[in-house]
Amino acid sequence: MKGKTFFLNLALEEAKKAFHKGEVPVGAVITLNGKVISKSHNRVEELKDPTAHAEILAIREASKKIGIKELRNCEIYITLEPCPMCAGAIALNGFKKIYFGAWNIKHGAVVSKFFLLEEYKIPWEKLDCNRCERLLKDFFEERRKGK
């Protein structure tokens, strides 16, 4: 059976797609019983939609495939600790567990800044992912240089 690292690596591949499009490099993968149900990456600029975060897009796709109620049995893997909007969507859909690869000091809504999932008792785990952090750092360094 595939493990947590495998699914986080899939989310990282999604994040790289966002990076190459000039989007903030965040990727998300939703699994059910150890199988990928959906995956996505940030598409805010591409879709001109401020809600087009990786998590939201993956949740939309998963709910169409398996139904909203079944999301309660799903786990979500994200390269970055979710923002309040995404953490709220995860909480309201009652995900079984959330995994993320990098802290989001500025907007994190799991433990870094806000504690949204605590109220809903959604378990979470921070996975060790230097590559998630490096991709974000590289993206913002390029932005600061004006590329």
Residues tagged active-site: 55
Burial of 109 (0-12, 13-18, 19+ CB in 10 A): buried
The span from the CA of 84 to the CA of 55, in Å, is 11
Q: Which helix (H) or strand (E) holds 33?
A: none
